[in-house]
Amino acid sequence: MNLASALTGGFATDIGINQSTINLGNQMLFLGIMVLEIPSNMILQRLGPRKYMSGQVLVFGFIATMQIFVKNRYVFLVSRAFLGLAEAGYIPGALYTLSTWYRRRELAKRVAIFSFGMFGGNALSPLLASGILKLDGRQGISGWQWIFLLEGVFTMTVAILLLLLLPGSPEYTKPLFWKGFIRISSNEGILLQKRIAADYPEHEYKAQHIIITPKKVWKTVSHWRRWPHFLATSLVFSTWSPLTTYTPTIIMSLGFDRTSANALASVGSFIALAVVFAFAFISDRTNKRGLTVAIAITCYLITLIVGRTIGSNVGKWSKWGLWTSINAFAIGYHPVHNTWLQLNCTDPAERSISIAMWVMSAITGLMYGTQYFQAGDKPLYHRGLSIMIGVVLGGLVLVSLQELIYYFHNKHFVKQDPEGDENQKQLYIL
């Protein structure tokens, strides 16, 4: 999101790039994430989150800070690719780590709170940028350089806090270099393990940090019943890419100055946090996982249709309201969809790989989603919105298909005991 704010500060003009190059740079970022997503997750399982995630955030923050030295198209593209490689595996690793601490009925709300970091960052980033851009020219540094510098240094500070505060799992309850604010004794760790074990049919705790073999990776990847999850995620999440990149400039085109545009762009993202938590609460409360995902996507689809239909015929504040609504509902389905997938995995290794595949699907969507908004479609991107309506509708159909696959499998399971493939030996959560 800091790239979107940097664009309002003249970043593209200063380094001599156009919208096509910006879109390509985002694709390079997402490609870097995709390439190392599963390998990174396998390394995390060996090293544990305390070591791997802390180091990863530190490297990412350093590369992000170095963007202040970007001077041309080539360096811009290379920096985006390295940012993607550094980020690979962080989200699935963090989601998996969360799942090692909480029971199934508690997970959706925790995944939603974790998402506050990512989606809340998109709310805070333009708000912070509206102030940081006022430093333009101080110490001979442009406003967009101040954005990359300050936000990059903050990220490296977070990495140090992770080293001091992040526990590993109920098996390894202490952070690496400090006892932490919340201190969990060995006996309390054992109680936590028993609590998690209550969700398994045999009520036995399974080691959470294990070595994932290529055979297990292939077995999980080839489990066809989960593929509608991945395809739907790719389609619907692809629409988030152009929104995060161009919402501030869209608002500027309505007649607001860059400071006001960045501040106003944050409103939709702040509302999105409440939307995310509301759907997570409904998902945990009702245990209707698939239905909650479908309702959340439907709400997003409605805002896109309304925005595309009447967006040209209203005043600037109404246009801002429409774009704010689109941003507010753009990711409400995402955390609850991830929880639905996790709850239908049979063991920690399968869950870890499935989360990585889910994130890879989302990143694939972001890669092609960068092309939805083209320069010839400015300023309100009507053609881009039409494409987004189509892909979100396709995602809704796939979510409905996923629900049907699980329903008919469960119905068959009740009638007769399956034999052979152990992937069939489970009832899926609808």
Does the structure show a pLDDT above 90 at 294?
yes
Q: Is a pLDDT exceeding 90 seen at residue 309?
A: yes
User: 26-30, 181-185, 295-299: which has the minimum mean pLDDT?
Assistant: 181-185
Report d(CA 64, CA 150) in Å as an integer.
Answer: 10
Amino acid at 133: L
Question: 12-21, 324-333, 394-403, 408-417: which has the minimum mean pLDDT?
Answer: 408-417
- 46 vs 250: CA distance, rounded Å: 44
pLDDT of residue 280: 92
pLDDT in tens, 46-98: 888 888 889 999 999 999 999 999 999 999 999 999 999 998 888 888 888 88
Across residues 360-384, what is the average pLDDT?
91
Confidence of residue 156 (pLDDT cuts 50, 70, 90): very high
What is the average pLDDT score of the chain? 87
Comparing 164-173, 326-335, 377-386, which segment has the lowest mean pLDDT? 164-173
Please tell me the distance from the alpha carbon of residue 23 to that of residue 242, in angstroms, as a whole number. 9
CB 79 within 8 A of CB 67: yes
d(CA 194, CA 141): 55
Q: What is the pLDDT of residue 402?
A: 97
41-55, 155-169, 202-216, 220-234: lowest mean pLDDT where?
Answer: 202-216
Residue 188 is predicted with a pLDDT of 84
Distance CA 74, CA 25 (A): 10
Cα gap 45→363, rounded to integer Å: 21
Instruction: Give the chain's length.
Output: 430
Alpha-carbon gap, residue 243 to 63, rounded angstroms: 24
Say which residue, 273 or 304, is predicted with more confidence: 304
User: What is the per-residue pLDDT across 157-197, written as a single tens digit (0 to 9) for each?
Assistant: 999 998 888 887 788 778 877 776 677 888 888 888 888 88
Residue 417 carries which side chain, given as an amino acid letter? D
Per-residue model confidence (pLDDT) at position 424? 47
254 has a pLDDT exceeding 70? yes
Looking at per-residue confidence, does 102 or 402 come out higher? 402
pLDDT for 115: 80
Burial of 294 (0-12, 13-18, 19+ CB in 10 A): buried
- Please determine, for residue 291, whether its predicted confidence score (pLDDT) is greater than 60: yes
Confidence of residue 126 (pLDDT cuts 50, 70, 90): confident
- What are the tens digits of pLDDT across the range 142-155? 999 999 999 899 99
Q: How confident is the model at residue 423 (pLDDT cuts 50, 70, 90)?
A: very low
Output 67 or 128, whichever has higher pLDDT.
67
- Residue 208 confidence (pLDDT): 60
Return the pLDDT at 177: 77
Euclidean distance between CA atoms 340 and 296, whole angstroms = 13
pLDDT at 283: 93
Give the pLDDT of residue 416: 66
DSSP one-letter string for 271-335: HHHHHHHHHHHHHHHH--HHHHHHHHHHHHHHHHHHHHHHTTSS-HHHHHHHHHHHHHHTTTTHH
pTM above 0.85, yes or no: no
Q: Using a pLDDT cut of 90, give the percent of the chain over it.
A: 46
Token pair in block for residue 405? 């696959």
Res. 206 pLDDT band, cuts 50 70 90:
low
Which residue has better confidence, 81 or 206? 81
Lowest mean pLDDT of 101-115, 192-206, 316-330, 344-358, name the range. Answer: 192-206
